[in-house]
Amino acid sequence: DTGVSQDPRHKITKRGQNVTFRCDPISEHNRLYWYRQTLGQGPEFLTYFQNEAQLEKSRLLSDRFSAERPKGSFSTLEIQRTEQGDSAMYLCASSPTVGTEQYFGPGTRLTVT
Amino acid sequence: AQTVTQSQPEMSVQEAETVTLSCTYDTSENNYYLFWYKQPPSRQMILVIRQEAYKQQNATENRFSVNFQKAAKSFSLKISDSQLGDTAMYFCAFMKQPNNAGNMLTFGGGTRLMVKP
């Protein structure tokens, strides 16, 4: 297993466009997290899945954001009608049911022009 | 809600020297975990060290150790014998007692550490 992967690594889009990111967690990790990291800041929690169920959402996750994890495997994060303030690194992490360590992916850097 | 504060935006240290990164946090929880994560330039974040709040003994991982002061809500990271590969952003993070509602991490703003040859 090569760890958590994210695709794409970089995305440049124009304001108002929709974008979708994908995260593939470590096999058999049933917990999956999305975080957002703006330049020079620490990551901020967005949402959490246990298997296919989305159990927690941050207030940061506006109505323009939606996340899914069909079949409890990979996850997608979609941002509709992007705004310049959405420019950030979007990090995905996964963890097993037991234990506290979260394993992070390389992130998707979004630039909204 | 929990908050994590790292008061040192940037630090530098000479190779082979020792450096200490500071972190304070605020919580009303009694059971929780604290972490230091390392984010090297253009690479993914990895766990450096973890401390359970119920343990009085400070955690140690090779050259990395923590000074955990629960009453003061302080959690500093000491890196001994600094190496060039230690150059990275370091994030202090807090996690409440894990449950089915999720183990989300609350991060501090980070400290950029540069190890100089």
8 Å CB contact of B109 and A56: no
Distance, in angstroms, between A4 CA and closest chain B CA? 10
pLDDT at B100: 64
CA dihedral (B50, A21, A8, A3) positive or negative: positive
Answer yes or no: is pLDDT of B98 > 80. Answer: no
* pLDDT, tens only, A50-106: 999 999 899 888 899 999 999 889 999 999 999 999 999 999 999 988 888 999 999
| Per-residue pLDDT tens digits for B6-25 | 999 999 999 999 999 999 99
Task: State residue A1's pLDDT score.
Answer: 55
Element (H, E) at A36: strand A31-37
* B101 confidence band (pLDDT: 50, 70, 90): low
Residue B65 has pLDDT above 80, yes or no: yes
What CA–CA distance (Å, rounded) separates B28 from B39? 28
Residues of chain A neighbouring B104 (CB-CB closer than 8 A)? 33, 45, 48, 56
Parallel/antiparallel/unpaired status of strands A31-37 and A44-50 = antiparallel
Interface check A102 vs B, CB under 8 A: yes
At B69 the pLDDT is 96
pLDDT in tens, A21-51: 999 999 989 999 999 999 889 999 999 999 9
> What are the residues whose beta carbons fall under 8 Å from the beta carbon of A53, sequence distance 6 or more?
none
How does the average pLDDT of chain B come out, rounded?
A: 94
Neighbour order of strands in the sheet with A19-24: A5-7, A19-24, A75-79, A65-68
Q: Cα(B78)–Cα(B64) distance, rounded to whole angstroms?
A: 6
